[in-house]
Amino acid sequence: MARDESQNTDRRTFLQAGAVATASALSLNAGAPAQDAPAKVAAIPTRPLGKTGVNITMLDQGAVRTQNLEGIFRLAFANGIRVFDTAKVYGSEKDFKKWFEHVPEVRKQIFLVTKDMPRTPKQMLGMLDQRLATLGTDYVDLFFIHALGDDHSLDAAINMVTGQEFKETAEAIRKSGKARFVGFSSHNKNRAPIIDAAARAGIVDAIMLQYSPWLEKDSPLNRALDACHEKGIGLITMKQIAGQFFGDRPKTNVLDEVVKRVPMLAEKKLTPFQGLLHAIWTDERISSSCVSMKNTDQIRENADAARRFEPLKTAEIQQLRDAALAHGPMLCADCDGRCSTAAGTTAELGNLTRFLTYHEHHGERAEARRQYAALSAEARDWLGADLEAARAACPNRLDFVTLLAEVERHLA
């Protein structure tokens, strides 16, 4: 869960005392070898990653650049997490290299994912070599095309993962042993048709996607996930939590209010964030959830959620959804761009709010400004847009009037 430190006071209120007692002896001092050893913590449940034949932990440590990442990795590992996710642009691969140098045996005990941004499938071969050199390993478990759809037209993105060149490249990569599996990640507004086409082509082993636990049953994205599941393509979620309960700056203790609105949280002794993870894992199509955990509390809370996972009832998920919507979510989690269409604007309202989430909740201020600056003038220009119509069209009921003012204040 990528929330910044400023939220920790609220979050600690909801941590389950004693649930992570064995982990409490661990510190984030990367130099202490004991951190990799204790593992007296109960194992985190695993699920099959599609038809790869590999089972992965339901919780995946996202490795966006932050302080003392090697210490974070060690704590995540000691808490039972065995999937680690990085990318060239995260700048965190060198921290894995340090970890592997200090504890070489750990490399084979984790499922390592990295990503890069090729324009054409063939470029993946050279890019993978570069990633391996930076990571200090001779193989990764999964190599993703990063953020598919952002730098390609919809047609080009679909061709990228369905064409002959990709098929041959993916086969060459698997055969080389440099990556066991190949796929792509996407948070693009066009990810539903891209994922659907990839499922039909059946070349990729796994897909990582921006996901919401309250996808509409008949939505294109939900149907695309069904197609993946039928084909045995592994699904990993990302960006599922950030901004859900903190869209507006809370004037009251938002988390207290969420707990009041969703009685099952107290009954099951779950924090709102743990409840959201349980809602996601209730979807059996999902193999694992990638969360950019940046501190001890987040790792412990999420690992505890995974160990205590039990599927939620539909009514419980709906309660969580209503509570999340009531508190002004910031991130558009199941974006297909309908807000911009309803508002009659060329502005990419979903992307603008996503970059604001990076700025406000992921602690990625420079990256948020960079991505905002990379948008075209039309994609940024929401003047004259009918923002109330956009809010009405948005399944997450994003408050664009408030959020876009924040976008202007922080990113423009």
Interface ranges with ligand SF4 (CB under 6 A):
189, 332, 334-339, 349-350, 353, 393-396, 398
Cβ–Cβ under 8 Å, residues 322 and 261: yes
Name which of 118 and 243 has its Cβ closer to ligand SF4: 243
Nearest to residue 65, comparing CAs of 30, 29, 86, 90? 90
Name which of 200 and 338 has its Cβ closer to ligand SF4: 338
Name which of 290 and 339 has its Cβ closer to ligand SF4: 339
Name which of 3 and 189 has its Cβ closer to ligand SF4: 189
Residue with the CB atom nearest ligand SF4 in the bound state: 332
Q: How far apart are CB 280 and ligand SF4 at their closest, in Å?
A: 17
Q: How far apart are CB 212 and ligand SF4 at their closest, in Å?
A: 8
Q: Which amino acid is at 110?
A: I
Count of all residues that appear for the chain in the document? 412
Name which of 115 and 187 has its Cβ closer to ligand SF4: 187
- CA–CA distances in Å: residue 218 to residues 193, 214, 222, 240, 385: 14, 12, 6, 20, 28
Number of Cβ within a 10 Å radius of residue 105: 8
Name which of 118 and 350 has its Cβ closer to ligand SF4: 350
Q: How far apart are CB 262 and ligand SF4 at their closest, in Å?
A: 21
Name which of 157 and 339 has its Cβ closer to ligand SF4: 339
Tokens of residue 170, six digits? 């993916």
Cβ–Cβ under 8 Å, residues 102 and 36: no
Q: How far apart are CB 354 and ligand SF4 at their closest, in Å?
A: 8
Q: How far apart are CB 342 and ligand SF4 at their closest, in Å?
A: 8
Name which of 106 and 332 has its Cβ closer to ligand SF4: 332
CA–CA gap between residue 182 and residue 408 (Å, rounded)? 38
Q: How far apart are CB 218 and ligand SF4 at their closest, in Å?
A: 15
Name which of 244 and 302 has its Cβ closer to ligand SF4: 244
